[in-house]
Structure 1
């Protein structure tokens, strides 16, 4: 009796198993997703630090006047290149010059009195105290001359250094107050490029290191300079370090305030495994790529195996070719260069990875490859005008 019950239970279990297997086999498999692919390449790569910088003048100032006055003459034109010491603006100084002449006359009179009293001292007609008073009076008069001469000099505004003048609306007859801006003066050759780099890259920086920069104003043209200063302090808010480079600008093409892309070569040329940066998926748990490979044939006796004898049959797509699948692989990335990114760990040269369309995939998804449209993979891309 017990044997019959066990046999019945076994028969029911086998029937249920076969039913479940048939249902699983009947479930339609997901359609392959269309993706584009790229091959992992080993390239000669110059490691670089990249940054965004701003151009600043080596010397730059908004020129103003120390004293108020009426503009008599403007000796420059907007945009003119001037040398250090060049006279730029003259203010009316007639009354100041008259006071200077008066002070000079008073100093001359004090010198005459001192000379006369010194002669009288020789015959003891005056005391030594008188000579001392005359000497001090002469010094005071000469100091007044120097003071008034300085006032007159302030009425002539000169270029403190060589450079290019900006645009001004200053005209003769205009009254200016002390501190009013007259014109800007900028030194353009050389010019500074100021930029910041993460503190992790500080060990690769050194004064004298060569930098290359480009500006959108002159696409395809590169400018060369050298690092002349590295800040001794890391910004506690951004953890970046400020770097300053001096860039040669003989044609005066670069102007203060321009936005610049800065590149610094680090070390020698090295071999790197590279991929288009679009192939990498960034997740909180790590960076991944999808490696394209042929699907393994189903095991004997499993659902979907061909033949009643359970012999293995390779998985195939409708075209008869082996089915491709995407396998998710964790990787460690390195520096980027243009559209490319270097791979430090996780891949080998020659492997094929998904370069676009991976947002539709999960580990093991079947794929079909269509490389008619490929993402860019240029180490030095340039803007394309349309």
Structure 2
């Protein structure tokens, strides 16, 4: 057993010695001067594989990252929702008493005026009752007047005068009742609007509560929609919302927030909001499906960065800035806390923590171990100068598109990007006072010829 153990030990030692000798013989001979020359002079050259982040050469390691400057652009803080349109005023006309229709004083889709008699029922019996009540009232008035004269002469008692006064009041009440019954046989338009399609004809006998026709006030329409409860602190009356419709491609209207429900729906955890739209062009109809974009605020010079530049840690957000190093021509990283604001597709607003000319890392954050790490950046969206790429860097650098830290000039503040033009062009509102006090509506369609007026 002892001899077998010795053989194993000798074999292991021999294999290790052979491996060490092979590595020594295959190692390339590097002269001391060449090795010293290969060492980084300013911290911008990548270290050898023997140097790691934790080794003696960790401080001089250069990390390749992608970066982009902070942009300034017009940004809108908004929220999107879906809703439905409804009339400012809508009513379905129904009779209060039973009767037979004798007159229909409107046509389907006709504009009607407040107080206009739309439907007349047979009122022969109520009119006769009114005449009877008027006759009884005349008798009661004459008796009461005569009793007042007789009591003044002392021929009758005061009791007779009181009885005649009570009879007069009863006769007046009977006349008012007969007139009220007769008036319920005429159905009037409660407000200015447009009549719908009737479902009755002259001669039909209707019971009380039967549907006759609907009347809609379409000069103003309401858009009802819901917003998440987290936005209830942002939405305010008087704010502007932009409303688009699937049924009307190329048409978009402006709405003003008029009312916010004080109670939050417990089922969907949403707050109901109502906006007002000027619809004097009569393009919109109640019941239409609407896509609402509520605008909470607008900023012309908002600072934005790509979303991939954000490094979240719990409830906090950080970014890595690229700043000038201590030695000329070098760049190092700096970790900064930021406060985020509104978001756009692929972009996020930075409310605090960055300036307009800062350069932030968008890719390669995982390679940065700590602040002060030397970096070699690629500025996105900033093309390389042709002369510098071909002359100083050579053809290889020009082909790769990578800009060394020493060759990247300090980024100038990005120009303010204009707000994205809306898809639909603005049209001027119709003349006259705007019922919703909305500045105007947006529509890709021209105004109707009858509605356009000079000036």
TM-score range, shorter chain: 0.5 to 0.7
Residue 188 of structure 1 aligns to a residue in which SS?
Answer: strand
What secondary structure does 2:140 align onto?
helix
Match of 1:6 among 5, 12, 17: 12
What's the CA shift string for 1:298-355, capped at 9, x where partnerless? xxxxxxxxxxxxxxxxxxxxxxxxxxxxxxxxxx997666xx3434689649659xxx
Q: Name whichever of 143-152 and 184-193 sits farther off.
A: 184-193
Pairs within 5 Å for 1:124-273: 124-269=154-299, 270-273=302-305
What is the rounded CA distance, in whole Å, between the counterparts of 2:238 and 2:74 in structure 1? 25
Q: Distance in 2 between matches of 1:119 and 1:10?
A: 146
Deviations 1:265-286 (A, max 9, x none): 22222243458xxx9xxxxx9x
Counterpart-to-counterpart distance in 1, 2:69 and 2:251 = 31
Scaled by the length of structure 1, what TM-score is found?
Answer: 0.65
SS at match of 1:190: strand
| Unaligned residue ranges in structure 2 (runs of 5+) | 1-5, 21-67, 309-313, 315-338, 351-359, 364-378, 382-419, 425-455
Give unmatched runs, 5+ long, in structure 1. 15-38, 280-284, 286-331, 353-377
Residue 116 of structure 2 is aligned with which of 78, 86, 104? 86
- Equivalent residue number for residue 297 of structure 1: none
CA distance in 2, matches of 1:13, 1:343: 56
In structure 2, distance between residues paired with 1:241 and 1:381: 29
Quote how far apart the aligned CAs of 1:184 are: 0.6
1:342 alignment counterpart: 347
How many correspondences in the alignment? 282
Equivalent position to 1:74, from 74, 91, 104: 104
Cα deviation digits, residues 86-114 of structure 1 (max 9, x gap): 11000000011001100110011010111
1-side partners of 2:272 and 2:380: how far apart? 40
**3-state SS of the aligned residue for 1:181?**
coil
The 1:254/1:113 distance shift into structure 2, 3 A limit, reads: same
Cα 1:8/1:268, change in 2 over 3 Å: same
- In structure 2, the residue corresponding to 1:76 is in which secondary structure? coil
Alpha-carbon spacing, 1:137–1:347, altered in 2? closer, same or farther (3 Å): farther
Find out whether 1:97 has 2:127 as its counterpart: yes
Distance 1:333 1:50, change over 3 A: farther
Is residue 44–residue 272 contact of structure 1 (8 Å, CA) maintained in 2?
Answer: no
Query: What pairs up with 1:282-297 in 2 under 5 angstroms?
Result: none
The 2-side partners of 1:48 and 1:132 are apart by 74
SS in 2 for 1:136: helix
Root mean square deviation, CA, Å: 3.3
SS at match of 2:249: coil
Give yes or no for contact 1:58–1:191 (8 Å, CA) kept in 2. yes
- Measured in 1, the distance between the counterparts of 2:172 and 2:199 equals 39
Question: Is the Cα contact below 8 Å between 2:100 and 2:205 reproduced in 1?
Answer: yes
Residue by residue over 1:7-60, the C-alpha shift from the partner in whole angstroms, topping out at 9 and shown as x without a partner, is 24537999xxxxxxxxxxxxxxxxxxxxxxxx9994432222211111111111
Against the structure 1 CA distance between its residues 241 and 194, is the aligned structure 2 distance closer, same or farther, given a 3 Å change threshold?
A: same
Structure-2 separation of matches of 1:144 and 1:136:
13
Contact map agreement 2:123 2:182 (CA 8 A) in 1: yes
**C-alpha separation in 1, matches of 2:147 and 2:81:** 76
- State yes or no: 1:60 paired with 2:90: yes
